[in-house]
Structure 1
Amino acid sequence: MKLAGLKTAENAHDESIWASAWVPATDNRPALLLTGSLDETVRLWRTDELSPAAPPLGGHALGVVSVAAHPSGVVAASASLDSFIRVFDVESNSSIATLEAPPSEVWNMQFEPKGTILAVAGGSSASVKLWDTSSWQLVDSLAIPRQESSRPTDRTGGGKFVLSVAWSPDGKRLACGSMDGTISVFDVHRAKFLHHLDGHFMPVRSLVYSPLDSRVLFSACDDTHVHMYDAEGKNLVASLSGHASWVLSVDASPDGAAIATGSSDRTVRLWDLTMRASVQTMTSHSDQVWSVAFRPPGGTGVRAGRLASVSDDKSISLYDYS
């Protein structure tokens, strides 16, 4: 497996780009890349040439920290430091809903695989908020319980700041990563906390399940490590090292054979999961890499895999994955 650099769009936004996600293909168009920036805008890009697919999308009063696309490819959402989530129609950019949260309670978000729920990392509320996508009403809040800790630095116990969320591919489990390094796993249908996954002691910025196995979870952490967990058995399967600084993002390839990571060491790495090792390092960015995202399968004429990365250097890089 390997990555080959295809194209880099310099100055794709006016400020740092912190978020990216692929909008799945529909019957009418191929997949699009969605990016969000501290310049308060969201932008859509054509999949191979990285040319704008629409004018910049506004609507936020502060920087955009997360973007997510509904599995139908018709709807997308952007979350901002202004504590609002804007849900919009991808084709027309018309606003569908505006979801409001208290300050510091909107971070990473992800649609459930069937698209019925939008899960949002709740920041200082120490919870994950679940929004129904038919009514756009808040239907549940999954609170993270206190954890027994012998760490002298953990004086508050329950004072978790939730940064990241990930759905299992079967939609039954939801994992969330916190500022203190803990990962919490929930049974969504029963709205029940199951257990914590240990091993990190610094912020867990990004999580992703294997697309092939709802037991396998990957985490990206400020401790420079990527962890591979058996999320059901509560076991740390592997700790992958190679980055020289914070690991800010992780995503799994659609074939389940690899993961990609972005780091504040300015690199993107490709990891072979059979070898459990980094097999390639890409250096197309000149500042920290906030997000990496593999293009989902589907769409007419799509043969090659694609990976996108975005950075504080205001650029987007696109890679061929094979």
Structure 2
Amino acid sequence: MTHFRLIKRLAVNALRGHNTNVRAIVFHPKATIFLDKKDVNLASCAVNGSVKLWSLESDEPVADIEGHKARVARVIWHPSRRFLGTTCYDHSWRLWDLEAQVEFLHEEGHSKGVYDIAFHVDCSLSATGSLDEFGRLWDLRTGHCIMFLEGHLKEICGINFSPNGYHIATGSGDNFLRQRKCIYTIPAHQNLVTGVKFEPNHGNFLLESQCGQVGKVMGLDISMDGQLIATCSYDRTFKLWMAE
């Protein structure tokens, strides 16, 4: 079993730009590996609908993505790294073309706010989880919903594809973690599950975050080599964890 320990480090920079609660922040897949520090290395979103892009050279955003009028819950990079996905409490999710600087897709279908989004490894599919208790699978080539995911009794706050693309895991306010076709139901929690991620290389294990711990852990991400885990919390901190 893999154990993780907290890396205690001083903040090297404080990013300033949002004027309300930040909901999520994600590294570009090539950040700190191939990208220059002056390039867009991070994206973040907040409850006032703002979405911002950041470099590693400045403590202020390098660009704003405008269009959302309601709370943005999640931001995520498309596997092509050209697009950025966002989910919103206006019942929609969007895909933004960062090269052309335009909105590429704006999809509706959920009856309540869309909380989380994930992309299939082959770049052609997305999966969304909503406060309406359901998940949906979308074809990015047509913008159509092609599969309906049901089984949860409360809002879906986390959704993720396995690295091989054959499974979808969901985490919910009903305290359960499920996979497509309910291969497993994991009743391991006593509070709302706010995020779920497969280990990126082989999918051998799942990580989840829970709203109920001290500080309410609202999101998490895993580095591509599987060695680092980042978590964000309502206590306004980000923490970095490393395998022992």
Matched position secondary structure for 2:198: strand
Name the aligned partner's letter for residue 35 of structure 1: S
Residues 1:68 and 2:76 aligned together: yes
Name the aligned partner's letter for residue 206 of structure 2: L
What CA deviation, in whole Å up to 9, does each residue of 1:154-193 have, x standing for no partner?
A: xxxx52221111221222211110002100012xxxxx33
- Measure, in 2, the Cα distance between the counterparts of 1:165 and 1:173: 11
Name the aligned partner's letter for residue 120 of structure 1: T
The answer (yes or no) to whether the contact 2:25–2:45 under 8 Å persists in 1 is: yes
1:172 to 166, 170, 194: 166
- Measure, in 2, the Cα distance between the counterparts of 1:142 and 1:118: 13
Matched position secondary structure for 1:118: strand
Quote the residue 1:293 is aligned against.
Answer: none
2:205 to 195, 211, 216: 216
- Deviation for aligned residue 1:133: 1.4
Quote the residue 2:67 is aligned against.
Answer: 59
Higher relative contact order (CA 8 A, sep 6+): 1
- Deviation for aligned residue 1:4: 5.1
Residue ranges of structure 2 left out of the alignment (5+ in a row): 1-5
TM-score by length of 2: 0.85
The answer (yes or no) to whether the contact 1:105–1:121 under 8 Å persists in 2 is: no
Aligned length, in residue pairs = 234
- Deviation for aligned residue 1:7: 1.0
For the structure 1 residues 111 and 47, does the alpha-carbon distance in structure 2 shift closer, same or farther, using more than 3 Å as the test?
farther
What CA deviation, in whole Å up to 9, does each residue of 1:111-131 have, x standing for no partner?
A: 12222211100222x221111
The answer (yes or no) to whether the contact 1:23–1:71 under 8 Å persists in 2 is: no
2:193 to 200, 204, 208: 204
Quote the residue 1:130 is aligned against.
Answer: 137
Matched position secondary structure for 1:177: strand
Quote the residue 2:3 is aligned against.
Answer: none
1:6 to 7, 12, 15: 12
- Measure, in 2, the Cα distance between the counterparts of 1:28 and 1:210: 23
The answer (yes or no) to whether the contact 2:197–2:206 under 8 Å persists in 1 is: yes
- Deviation for aligned residue 1:105: 4.2
Residues 1:263 and 2:233 aligned together: yes
> Post-superposition, which runs of at least 4 consecutive aligned residues in structure 1 deviate over 4 A?
1-4, 25-31
What does residue range 44-123 of structure 1 map to in structure 2 within 5 Å? 44-54=53-63, 56-123=64-131
Quote the residue 1:246 is aligned against.
Answer: 216
- Measure, in 2, the Cα distance between the counterparts of 1:269 and 1:15: 20
Residue ranges of structure 1 left out of the alignment (5+ in a row): 145-157, 187-191, 225-243, 275-322
Name the aligned partner's letter for residue 191 of structure 2: M
> Whose radius of gyration is greater, 1 or 2?
1
What CA deviation, in whole Å up to 9, does each residue of 1:135-165 have, x standing for no partner?
A: 2211111212xxxxxxxxxxxxx52221111
